[in-house]
Protein backbone atom coordinates (compact mmCIF):
# COMPACT_ATOMS: atom_id res chain seq x y z
CA UNK A 1 0.00 0.00 0.00
CA UNK A 2 1.27 3.47 -0.91
CA UNK A 3 0.22 6.48 1.19
CA UNK A 4 0.99 10.15 0.70
CA UNK A 5 2.40 11.85 3.79
CA UNK A 6 3.01 15.54 4.38
CA UNK A 7 5.39 16.93 6.99
CA UNK A 8 4.35 20.38 8.14
CA UNK A 9 5.94 22.83 10.58
CA UNK A 10 3.07 24.29 12.63
CA UNK A 11 2.72 27.51 14.64
CA UNK A 12 5.38 29.18 12.52
CA UNK A 13 5.90 30.65 9.05
CA UNK A 14 9.56 29.55 8.97
CA UNK A 15 10.80 26.07 8.12
CA UNK A 16 12.71 24.34 10.91
CA UNK A 17 10.75 26.33 13.53
CA UNK A 18 7.50 25.57 15.33
CA UNK A 19 6.45 21.96 15.77
CA UNK A 20 6.55 19.32 13.04
CA UNK A 21 3.71 16.94 12.32
CA UNK A 22 3.29 14.18 9.78
CA UNK A 23 -0.14 14.29 8.13
CA UNK A 24 -1.87 11.33 6.47
CA UNK A 25 -5.37 11.36 5.02
CA UNK A 26 -6.78 7.84 4.83
CA UNK A 27 -9.72 6.42 2.89
CA UNK A 28 -10.31 4.05 5.78
CA UNK A 29 -8.63 3.45 9.10
CA UNK A 30 -5.48 1.38 9.35
CA UNK A 31 -5.18 -0.89 12.35
CA UNK A 32 -3.91 0.81 15.51
CA UNK A 33 -0.60 -1.05 15.54
CA UNK A 34 0.24 0.11 12.02
CA UNK A 35 -0.58 3.74 12.83
CA UNK A 36 1.54 3.53 15.96
CA UNK A 37 4.42 2.03 13.98
CA UNK A 38 4.22 4.84 11.42
CA UNK A 39 4.42 7.35 14.28
CA UNK A 40 7.41 5.52 15.74
CA UNK A 41 9.11 5.50 12.34
CA UNK A 42 8.49 9.22 11.84
CA UNK A 43 9.73 10.03 15.36
CA UNK A 44 8.00 13.42 15.38
CA UNK A 45 5.96 14.88 18.21
CA UNK A 46 2.84 13.72 16.38
CA UNK A 47 1.69 11.81 13.36
CA UNK A 48 -1.93 12.61 12.58
CA UNK A 49 -4.41 10.49 10.64
CA UNK A 50 -7.88 11.50 9.50
CA UNK A 51 -10.71 9.95 7.49
CA UNK A 52 -13.45 11.92 5.73
CA UNK A 53 -16.95 11.00 6.89
CA UNK A 54 -20.14 10.82 4.82
CA UNK A 55 -21.26 14.20 6.22
CA UNK A 56 -18.06 15.88 5.01
CA UNK A 57 -16.43 16.13 8.43
CA UNK A 58 -13.16 14.46 9.36
CA UNK A 59 -12.56 11.94 12.14
CA UNK A 60 -9.08 12.67 13.44
CA UNK A 61 -6.56 10.74 15.57
CA UNK A 62 -3.09 11.66 16.81
CA UNK A 63 -0.13 9.41 17.68
CA UNK A 64 3.14 10.29 19.40
CA UNK A 65 6.10 7.90 19.08
CA UNK A 66 4.98 6.38 22.41
CA UNK A 67 1.20 6.19 22.30
CA UNK A 68 -2.05 7.57 20.92
CA UNK A 69 -2.77 11.11 22.16
CA UNK A 70 -6.35 12.22 22.76
CA UNK A 71 -5.85 15.86 21.69
CA UNK A 72 -3.14 17.62 19.69
CA UNK A 73 -3.37 21.21 18.50
CA UNK A 74 -0.30 21.57 16.29
CA UNK A 75 -1.06 18.42 14.29
CA UNK A 76 -4.63 19.63 13.81
CA UNK A 77 -3.24 22.90 12.48
CA UNK A 78 -0.98 20.91 10.15
CA UNK A 79 -3.93 18.82 8.96
CA UNK A 80 -6.03 21.90 8.21
CA UNK A 81 -3.08 23.47 6.40
CA UNK A 82 -2.89 20.46 4.06
CA UNK A 83 -6.66 20.35 3.49
CA UNK A 84 -6.93 24.09 2.81
CA UNK A 85 -4.01 23.86 0.39
CA UNK A 86 -5.74 21.02 -1.47
CA UNK A 87 -9.13 22.80 -1.44
CA UNK A 88 -8.65 26.54 -2.11
CA UNK A 89 -12.39 27.24 -2.15
CA UNK A 90 -12.97 25.72 1.31
CA UNK A 91 -12.83 28.11 4.29
CA UNK A 92 -14.27 25.94 7.08
CA UNK A 93 -13.48 22.39 8.17
CA UNK A 94 -15.28 20.21 10.71
CA UNK A 95 -13.41 17.61 12.75
CA UNK A 96 -14.36 15.11 15.41
CA UNK A 97 -12.13 13.36 17.94
CA UNK A 98 -13.23 10.74 20.43
CA UNK A 99 -11.92 12.58 23.50
CA UNK A 100 -12.93 16.16 22.74
CA UNK A 101 -15.88 15.82 20.38
CA UNK A 102 -16.63 18.04 17.41
CA UNK A 103 -14.74 21.24 16.61
CA UNK A 104 -14.18 23.55 13.66
CA UNK A 105 -11.16 25.01 11.92
CA UNK A 106 -11.39 28.06 9.66
CA UNK A 107 -9.14 29.75 7.15
CA UNK A 108 -7.93 33.09 8.50
CA UNK A 109 -6.12 36.04 6.97
CA UNK A 110 -2.42 36.25 6.09
CA UNK A 111 -1.95 32.50 6.21
CA UNK A 112 -3.37 32.06 9.71
CA UNK A 113 -5.56 29.09 10.57
CA UNK A 114 -8.09 29.37 13.40
CA UNK A 115 -9.02 26.35 15.54
CA UNK A 116 -11.91 26.61 18.00
CA UNK A 117 -12.08 24.28 21.00
CA UNK A 118 -13.69 24.11 24.44
CA UNK A 119 -11.52 25.69 27.11
CA UNK A 120 -9.80 23.33 29.55
CA UNK A 121 -8.99 25.69 32.39
CA UNK A 122 -6.81 24.20 35.15
CA UNK A 123 -7.82 24.07 38.80
CA UNK A 124 -5.55 24.83 41.79
CA UNK A 125 -3.72 21.84 43.27
CA UNK A 126 -4.04 21.64 47.04
CA UNK A 127 -1.64 18.76 47.70
CA UNK A 128 1.28 19.42 45.37
CA UNK A 129 3.24 16.21 44.70
CA UNK A 130 6.83 16.24 45.94
CA UNK A 131 7.70 14.53 42.67
CA UNK A 132 6.59 17.61 40.76
CA UNK A 133 8.61 20.03 42.87
CA UNK A 134 11.67 17.80 42.78
CA UNK A 135 11.29 17.39 39.04
CA UNK A 136 11.18 21.10 38.18
CA UNK A 137 13.80 21.96 40.80
CA UNK A 138 12.69 25.57 41.39
CA UNK A 139 9.77 26.39 43.68
CA UNK A 140 6.80 27.81 41.75
CA UNK A 141 4.42 30.54 42.86
CA UNK A 142 1.39 28.45 41.92
CA UNK A 143 0.48 24.92 40.77
CA UNK A 144 -2.70 23.94 38.94
CA UNK A 145 -3.86 20.94 36.91
CA UNK A 146 -6.32 20.04 34.20
CA UNK A 147 -7.07 16.74 32.46
CA UNK A 148 -3.79 16.96 30.55
CA UNK A 149 -1.01 18.38 32.71
CA UNK A 150 0.28 20.09 35.82
CA UNK A 151 0.66 23.85 35.37
CA UNK A 152 3.73 25.17 37.17
CA UNK A 153 3.60 28.97 37.37
CA UNK A 154 6.53 31.33 37.88
CA UNK A 155 6.67 35.12 38.04
CA UNK A 156 9.83 35.45 35.95
CA UNK A 157 9.99 34.34 32.31
CA UNK A 158 13.77 33.96 32.67
CA UNK A 159 13.12 30.99 34.96
CA UNK A 160 10.93 29.35 32.30
CA UNK A 161 13.50 29.90 29.57
CA UNK A 162 16.44 28.53 31.58
CA UNK A 163 14.83 25.73 33.64
CA UNK A 164 16.38 22.28 33.29
CA UNK A 165 13.92 19.81 34.80
CA UNK A 166 14.65 16.24 35.79
CA UNK A 167 12.64 14.40 33.16
CA UNK A 168 13.00 10.98 34.76
CA UNK A 169 11.37 12.42 37.87
CA UNK A 170 8.59 14.14 35.91
CA UNK A 171 7.92 10.86 34.14
CA UNK A 172 6.61 9.49 37.44
CA UNK A 173 3.67 11.92 37.24
CA UNK A 174 2.13 9.90 34.37
CA UNK A 175 -0.46 10.12 32.93
CA UNK A 176 -0.03 13.86 33.49
CA UNK A 177 2.49 16.01 31.64
CA UNK A 178 4.02 19.26 32.94
CA UNK A 179 3.85 22.79 31.55
CA UNK A 180 5.85 25.64 33.08
CA UNK A 181 4.72 29.19 32.42
CA UNK A 182 5.26 32.85 33.34
CA UNK A 183 4.29 36.35 32.15
CA UNK A 184 6.65 37.94 29.66
CA UNK A 185 7.57 41.42 28.44
CA UNK A 186 7.35 40.66 24.72
CA UNK A 187 4.38 38.24 24.88
CA UNK A 188 1.44 37.99 27.26
CA UNK A 189 2.89 34.74 28.57
CA UNK A 190 5.42 32.09 27.66
CA UNK A 191 5.58 28.38 28.40
CA UNK A 192 7.52 25.16 27.93
CA UNK A 193 5.98 21.69 27.85
CA UNK A 194 7.51 18.43 29.08
CA UNK A 195 5.90 15.05 28.38
CA UNK A 196 8.38 12.25 29.05
CA UNK A 197 5.60 9.79 29.88
CA UNK A 198 3.55 10.33 26.74
CA UNK A 199 5.65 11.59 23.87
CA UNK A 200 9.19 12.74 24.47
CA UNK A 201 11.34 15.11 26.48
CA UNK A 202 10.20 18.63 25.52
CA UNK A 203 7.49 19.36 22.98
CA UNK A 204 8.44 22.23 20.62
CA UNK A 205 4.98 23.86 20.48
CA UNK A 206 1.84 22.46 22.12
CA UNK A 207 -1.50 23.79 20.92
CA UNK A 208 -3.65 21.69 23.25
CA UNK A 209 -2.13 23.03 26.47
CA UNK A 210 -3.04 26.58 25.47
CA UNK A 211 -6.68 25.59 25.98
CA UNK A 212 -5.71 25.69 29.65
CA UNK A 213 -2.95 28.32 29.63
CA UNK A 214 -4.97 31.02 27.90
CA UNK A 215 -7.95 30.88 30.33
CA UNK A 216 -5.54 31.04 33.27
CA UNK A 217 -3.55 34.00 31.93
CA UNK A 218 -6.66 35.65 30.52
CA UNK A 219 -8.12 35.79 34.02
CA UNK A 220 -4.87 36.94 35.61
CA UNK A 221 -4.22 39.61 33.00
CA UNK A 222 -7.90 40.50 32.45
CA UNK A 223 -7.58 39.96 28.70
CA UNK A 224 -9.56 37.93 26.18
CA UNK A 225 -6.99 38.15 23.39
CA UNK A 226 -3.48 37.00 24.17
CA UNK A 227 -0.30 36.26 22.25
CA UNK A 228 1.72 33.36 23.64
CA UNK A 229 5.17 32.03 22.90
CA UNK A 230 6.37 28.50 23.59
CA UNK A 231 10.03 28.91 24.43
CA UNK A 232 11.47 25.63 23.18
CA UNK A 233 14.60 25.50 21.06
CA UNK A 234 12.41 25.70 17.91
CA UNK A 235 9.86 28.12 19.36
CA UNK A 236 6.36 28.98 18.20
CA UNK A 237 3.74 31.72 18.49
CA UNK A 238 0.10 31.00 19.37
CA UNK A 239 -2.63 33.64 19.19
CA UNK A 240 -5.41 32.93 21.70
CA UNK A 241 -8.94 34.40 21.73
CA UNK A 242 -11.36 33.60 24.57
CA UNK A 243 -15.16 33.84 24.35
CA UNK A 244 -17.99 31.99 26.11
CA UNK A 245 -15.99 29.00 27.38
CA UNK A 246 -14.49 28.58 23.91
CA UNK A 247 -10.96 29.30 22.78
CA UNK A 248 -9.71 29.98 19.28
CA UNK A 249 -6.06 29.14 18.74
CA UNK A 250 -4.55 30.72 15.65
CA UNK A 251 -1.24 30.03 13.98
CA UNK A 252 0.57 29.71 10.70
CA UNK A 253 2.18 26.67 9.10
CA UNK A 254 4.59 25.81 6.31
CA UNK A 255 5.14 22.65 4.28
CA UNK A 256 8.49 20.92 4.71
CA UNK A 257 8.06 17.64 2.85
CA UNK A 258 5.72 15.58 0.70
CA UNK A 259 6.54 11.87 0.69
CA UNK A 260 5.16 8.49 -0.30
CA UNK A 261 5.35 5.79 2.32
CA UNK A 262 4.93 2.04 1.77
CA UNK A 263 3.32 -0.23 4.32
Distance from C-alpha of 73 to C-alpha of 48, rounded to nearest angstrom: 11
Residue 144 has pLDDT above 90, yes or no: yes
Distance from C-alpha of 132 to C-alpha of 197, rounded to nearest angstrom: 13
CB burial of residue 167 (10 Å; 0-12, 13-18, 19+): middle
Q: Determine the pLDDT at residue 199.
A: 87
Q: Determine the pLDDT at residue 108.
A: 98
Superfamily of domain 2-118+249-262: Diaminopimelate Epimerase; Chain A, domain 1 (3.10.310.10)
Which residues are identified as catalytic?
46
Compute φ and ψ for 17, nearest 5 degrees: -120, 180
Considering the chain, tell me which residue range(s) the CATH 3.10.310.10 domain(s) occupy.
2-118+249-262, 123-244
Residue 161 has pLDDT above 90, yes or no: yes
Percent of the chain with pLDDT over 90: 99
Q: Determine the pLDDT at residue 147.
A: 96
Superfamily of domain 123-244: Diaminopimelate Epimerase; Chain A, domain 1 (3.10.310.10)
Q: Stretch 97-112: mean pLDDT, rounded?
A: 97
Percent of the chain with pLDDT over 70: 100
Q: Stretch 30-38: mean pLDDT, rounded?
A: 98
Residue 200 has pLDDT above 90, yes or no: no
Evaluate whether 20 touches 254 at the Cβ level (below 8 Å): no
- pLDDT single digits (tens) 203-261: 999 999 999 999 999 999 999 999 999 999 999 999 999 999 999 999 999 999 999 99
Evaluate whether 150 touches 133 at the Cβ level (below 8 Å): no
Q: How far apart are the first and last CA of the chain?
A: 5
Look over the chain and give the mean of its residue pLDDT values, rounded to a whole number: 97
Q: What is the DSSP string of 211-231?
A: HHHHHHHHHHHT-SEEEEEE-
Percent helix, strand, coil in the chain, to 5, is 20, 40, 40
Residue 76 has pLDDT above 90, yes or no: yes
Side-chain-side CA neighbours of 222 within 13 Å: the count stands at 0
- CB atoms inside a 10 Å sphere around CB 233: 8
Evaluate whether 150 touches 144 at the Cβ level (below 8 Å): yes
Evaluate whether 125 touches 150 at the Cβ level (below 8 Å): yes
Task: Please indicate, yes or no, whether the overall pTM of this predicted structure exceeds 0.85.
Answer: yes
- pLDDT single digits (tens) 4-17: 999 999 999 999 99
CA 84 to chain CA centroid, Å, is 19
- pLDDT single digits (tens) 121-134: 999 999 999 999 99
Amino acid sequence: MHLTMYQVDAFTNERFKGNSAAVLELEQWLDDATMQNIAIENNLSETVFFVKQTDGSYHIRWFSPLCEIDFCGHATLASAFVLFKQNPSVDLLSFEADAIGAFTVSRGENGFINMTFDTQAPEPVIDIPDTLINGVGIKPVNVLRNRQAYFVVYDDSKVVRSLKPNLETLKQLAPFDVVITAPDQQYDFISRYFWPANGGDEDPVTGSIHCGLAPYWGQRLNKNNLVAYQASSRGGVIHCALANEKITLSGQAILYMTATIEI
